Amino acid sequence: MSSGFPPPDEQMELLLRGAVDVVEEDALRQRLERSRKENRPLLIKTGFDPTAPDLHLGHAVLLRKMAHFQQLGHRVVFLVGDFTAMIGDPTGKKATRPQLSRDEVLANAETYQEQAWQVLDRERTEIQHNSEWLGALGAEGLVRLAGSYTLARMMEREDFRDRFEKHEPISIHELLYPLTQGYDSVVMKADVELGGHDQLLNLLVGRDLMRARGMEPQIALTVPLLVGTDGAQKMSKSLGNAIAFEDSPREMFGRTMSIPDELMWDWRLLLTDMDQDEIDRQKAAVLDGQASPRDLKADLAHDLVKRFRGPEAADEARTEFDRMFRGGGVPDEIETQLVPAGLRLFALLADYGLAASRAEARRLIQQGAVSIDGEKVRDPHLTLEQGTKCLLKVGKRRFLDVEVTLETPSAAITE
């Protein structure tokens, strides 16, 4: 009987695209060969702790790698960490994360899954919840699990070691997180576990636990952490440098256009299907002055909006962007908000979504990035009188029609 899987070399080419760590690459090739010979798909595990409701393009990098395995015919499991999310992943954290309730986790998980189908094949993706087996462990099971790993080995992690040396608190439950994630792999008998590059140590714990139980250890494959729109830090909604799956086509297009030129090559590699040869060709054309980085970035923005919102929305977003920023226009559709009189400008910007925080709002105003009806304003404490109707513009892309009402928010005035 002939196998439906492509040759291992062909599979490896796709699976290693954009990968950072592969532990171990030779073992992965051997499993792909065995899978093809036996006509049996590998089980690919990827855990998602739903600690927030929205997915952004940083998550898309990992989801795309899952989709690569799906394209090759393998069995992909979207593991909802409804148990581990209540512990909180300590990876890279300088302080103990706040623990979530089960209701919060489940609500976030539902949103995660619906958004994930924009990248994954819904019909070919299995959903599992690790509370099914971790919740059943009970106190005795957790004690036995904790007994299978040493504190010395756990403290080899840089994040734990740094916090310990700085006399910063490390809660005991944080030490359980890597163990519970590794136990997921034992129960699922995972062939491959995927994760972000910062998750490598957690993935390696899974290998250790499987090996200790006489199992063939999983392959650990990690992908890069996508740099956000600021061009400096990993994409994160809390840092204000993220593009969410649910952002409007106009916002997704405009925020992509705001990234530094040099960042678009990594975005091309990690977020689109453009092959490396074409990426290299475009990069060389920019360096030689034969291609405009702005035009190539607009092509990238169009491709991303098309992927998440469809071709018609992508065409409209590009047309509107060209009209706004090359022709100096304003969007055809601008949200209108009724704003209480007496609200200071910096509070208005933050409270109505034009700035990520009140501190950022003050900074934007003082830098001259805010205008009212086309006139720049630099006083963060400016208030608008009742009955005022005006157009607020923040930066190049954010607009809000404002109509001031009689209500006066006394608390906001004194902040």
pLDDT at 408 over 60: no
CATH top class, domain 247-325 = mainly alpha
Give per-residue pLDDT as tens, 114-168: 888 999 999 999 999 998 999 898 889 888 988 888 788 888 777 788 888 888 8
Q: How many Cβ atoms sit within 10 Å of the Cβ of residue 29?
A: 17
Distance between first and last Cα of the chain:
74
Q: Radius of gyration (Cα) for the chain, nearest Å?
A: 25
Going by pLDDT thresholds of 50, 70 and 90, the confidence category of residue 329 is low
105 or 252: which carries more pLDDT confidence? 252
pLDDT at 375: 81
pLDDT at 100 over 80: no
The residue ranges of every structural domain in the chain are 8-223, 247-325, 336-414
Give per-residue pLDDT as tens, 58-82: 999 999 999 999 999 999 999 988 8
Percent above pLDDT 70 for the chain? 91
pLDDT at 413: 43
Going by pLDDT thresholds of 50, 70 and 90, the confidence category of residue 331 is low
Going by pLDDT thresholds of 50, 70 and 90, the confidence category of residue 225 is very high
The reported pTM is: 0.76
Is domain 336-414 in CATH 3.10.290.10, yes or no? yes
Q: In angstroms, rounded to a whole number, what is the distance separating the alpha carbons of residues 335 and 353? A: 11
Which tokens go with 132?
């099914």
**Residue 105 near residue 85, CB atoms below 8 Å:** yes
C-alpha neighbours within 13 Å on the C-beta side of residue 12: 14
Going by pLDDT thresholds of 50, 70 and 90, the confidence category of residue 343 is confident
pLDDT at 15 over 80: yes
pLDDT at 213: 93
pLDDT at 10 over 90: yes
Give every CB contact of residue 242 below 8 A, 6+ residues apart in sequence. 56, 57, 58, 228, 229, 235, 236
CATH top class, domain 8-223 = alpha beta
Give per-residue pLDDT as tens, 369-380: 888 877 888 898
Q: What is the mean pLDDT of the chain?
A: 86
Q: In angstroms, rounded to a whole number, what is the distance separating the alpha carbons of residues 384 and 373? A: 13
Is the N-terminal amide bond of 262 cis, ω within 30° of 0?
no
**Residue 385 near residue 371, CB atoms below 8 Å:** no
